[in-house]
Structure 1
Amino acid sequence: MNAPPPAPPPAGPILEFSDVGLSFAGVAAIDGVSFGVEPSELFAVIGPNGAGKTSIFNVISGVYRPQRGRVTFDGQDLIGRRPHEIAGLGIARTFQNVELFAGLTVLDNLMLGRHQQLRYGALSAMAWLGRARRAELAARAAVEDIIDFLELEQWRRHTVGLLPYGIQKRVELGRALAMEPRLLLLDEPVAGMNLEETEDTARYILDIREEIGIPMILVEHDMGLVMDLADRVLVVDFGVAIALGSPTEIRNDPEVIRAYLGKAS
């Protein structure tokens, strides 16, 4: 995949999630969670079902507005911004449940991911001249790179809703990449996949980090995948951060073992 020359890395974390509190009807979904994501880091968030992992993603992407705390992306405050504004800053997301346009082709779904990059008016679009033509051709070239990068060539003209589940998840990853993100949020990217599909997805995630250099936050229940891929891991339980460290540190942490197994180490 042809990526633009990387920008100089920012000093310090590209994303800071500071003492965030979010509750619904008095029940805490996130309770004082803090972490930072470094440039080019693959940062994982794990925890039992209902621990608050997806709520963290929803706060970052503007779906939820927390009652306290601060979230900044490259120095810009995210709290109070709408989801499309946050996407415009360079934060892209995949979803636990596939959120594609099932009646459109793979190519069309990927082209929709370029919407944030298009800058022309209705008259230019109808005339198919000048800025509109150049922008659409550039968008198509970028999408072709993604098709090649994710090995989607044989499905490019297929209707997404008729494709195997694992391929749909790959298309959703491609649509997020089409936004040219500066931070990628991956919400259970291998959920429901078989072993072969999981291994393929792990390879693509590694390629994104190594070839494109996009920092990622990964929420995932597959502990083998997390421990193999992540640079650091945050563990949450009942909305509270109980551990933060390297995969080796997390694997041996008594509080993490208790949260998952219900007993001390």
Structure 2
Amino acid sequence: MEHLSAEARAVERTDAPPDAVPDGQSSVDSLDETVLLDVRDVTLRFGGVTALDGVSFDVRRGELFAVIGPNGAGKTSIFNCLNGVYRPQQGTITLGDKRLVGRAPAAIAALGIARTFQNLGLFEHLTLIDNLMLGRHHLMRTGFLTGMLWWGRAKREEVRHRAAVEEIVELLELEPYRRTPAGLLPYGVAKRAELGRALAMEPTLLLLDEPVAGMNLEETEDMARYLIEVRRELDLAMILVEHDMRLVMDLADRVLALDFGVVIASGTPDEVQRDPKVIEAYLGGAA
């Protein structure tokens, strides 16, 4: 209840702080209008339970688009539909000119959708560098035998991919932890490594599932800074699911609010945080 109340207070804010839009962040007006992802009338049911009910939205190139809502609103279900874990019974999902519904998660990843997870999915006994290299797997063409011999084409390919990973290490300031096993990384650094592995996939769309969950204030501010830097350097579209409303309202270009699988508001952060339906959903009573 304490966490929910904090969210509700953030949603109720009517005056954004002066630094609400950090340096380097795009405004809605300056965004590329080209639609990268188009979600139309997606409905997802589990037996008699409707997790998503006719959800529609689009994400533009280079945009940071946020999805908010109370627990159980359907936020993670959207992500699972986008990366192929769930197959909706109705609706369409299109990335560029490619339809995603019915494709396997690996095929969708190859099309350019990467995802981080709320719960860390790093391999604890592998070093940070090796965990990031796993994000390059779908880009590698060397076979098992050639890779085992590590000669010729295999050697050149690994050198090339390690160079790409080193650029991510530099971007996220992970240099001191390059050879550290993932299981020994501080929590905030491990979350950053999770982000780095997703970036190593060279995505066109990045799904961020609660990237600051469990972080203290300092770690949260650091992650916000890295997300801004990633946008600036890579011009990457992102969909952010997060319970930290201050982070959402400060970073997002547009926000979609869900409640019980239904879209209740969509627009700029200012518009959504003032919407009576959004306030009611977070407070649990009439606005």
Asked whether the two chains share a fold, i.e. TM above 0.5, the reply is yes
Pairing 1:95–2:117 present: yes
Paired with 1:122 and 1:52, the residues of 2 have a C-alpha distance of 40
The 10-residue stretch of structure 1 (114-123 or 166-175) with the greater mean CA deviation from structure 2: 114-123
| Residue of structure 2 in register with 1:131 after alignment | 153
The equivalent position to 1:43 in structure 2, one of 59, 62, 65, is 65
Q: Alpha-carbon deviation of 1:120? A: 1.8
Q: 8 Å contact 2:42–2:52 — kept in the other structure?
A: yes
Pairing 1:259–2:281 present: yes
Pairing 1:15–2:10 present: no
Paired with 1:11 and 1:40, the residues of 2 have a C-alpha distance of 9
**1:11-34 superposed Cα distances (whole Å, 9 cap, x missing partner):** 731101110000111100001000
| Residue of structure 2 in register with 1:237 after alignment | 259
CA distance change for structure 1 residues 10 and 126 in 2, over 3 Å: closer, same or farther? farther
Q: TM-score, normalised by structure 1?
A: 0.94
**1:190-218 superposed Cα distances (whole Å, 9 cap, x missing partner):** 00000010000000111111111000000
Q: Alpha-carbon deviation of 1:116? A: 1.1
The equivalent position to 1:216 in structure 2, one of 222, 234, 238, is 238
CA distance change for structure 1 residues 11 and 193 in 2, over 3 Å: closer, same or farther? closer
Q: Secondary structure at the match of 1:35?
A: strand
Pairing 1:70–2:89 present: no
Q: Alpha-carbon deviation of 1:131? A: 2.1
**1:52-83 superposed Cα distances (whole Å, 9 cap, x missing partner):** 00000000000000000000111101011000
Pairing 1:106–2:128 present: yes
Q: 8 Å contact 1:209–1:215 — kept in the other structure?
A: yes
Q: Alpha-carbon deviation of 1:161? A: 0.9
Q: Secondary structure at the match of 2:35?
A: coil
Paired with 1:135 and 1:10, the residues of 2 have a C-alpha distance of 34
Q: Secondary structure at the match of 1:218?
A: strand
Pairing 1:200–2:232 present: no
Pairing 1:33–2:55 present: yes
**1:81-106 superposed Cα distances (whole Å, 9 cap, x missing partner):** 00000000010000011111111111
**Equivalent position amino acid for 2:45 in 1:** S
The 10-residue stretch of structure 1 (50-59 or 151-160) with the greater mean CA deviation from structure 2: 151-160
**Equivalent position amino acid for 1:63 in 2:** V
Q: Alpha-carbon deviation of 1:10? A: 8.9
**Equivalent position amino acid for 1:175 in 2:** R
Paired with 2:144 and 2:274, the residues of 1 have a C-alpha distance of 58
Structure 1: segments with no counterpart, 5+ residues = 1-8
**Equivalent position amino acid for 1:201 in 2:** M
Q: How many equivalent pairs are there?
A: 257
Q: Alpha-carbon deviation of 1:169? A: 0.6
Q: TM-score, normalised by structure 2?
A: 0.87
| Residue of structure 1 in register with 2:173 after alignment | 151
**1:123-160 superposed Cα distances (whole Å, 9 cap, x missing partner):** 43233233212210111001111111111111111111
Paired with 1:17 and 1:100, the residues of 2 have a C-alpha distance of 30
Paired with 1:19 and 1:264, the residues of 2 have a C-alpha distance of 28
Q: Secondary structure at the match of 1:14?
A: strand
Paired with 1:48 and 1:84, the residues of 2 have a C-alpha distance of 30
CA distance change for structure 1 residues 126 and 103 in 2, over 3 Å: closer, same or farther? closer
Q: 8 Å contact 1:10–1:74 — kept in the other structure?
A: no
Pairing 1:171–2:189 present: no
Paired with 2:57 and 2:96, the residues of 1 have a C-alpha distance of 14
Paired with 1:117 and 1:162, the residues of 2 have a C-alpha distance of 28
Indicate the RMSD between aligned Cα atoms, in angstroms.
1.3
Pairing 1:86–2:122 present: no
Q: 8 Å contact 2:39–2:56 — kept in the other structure?
A: yes
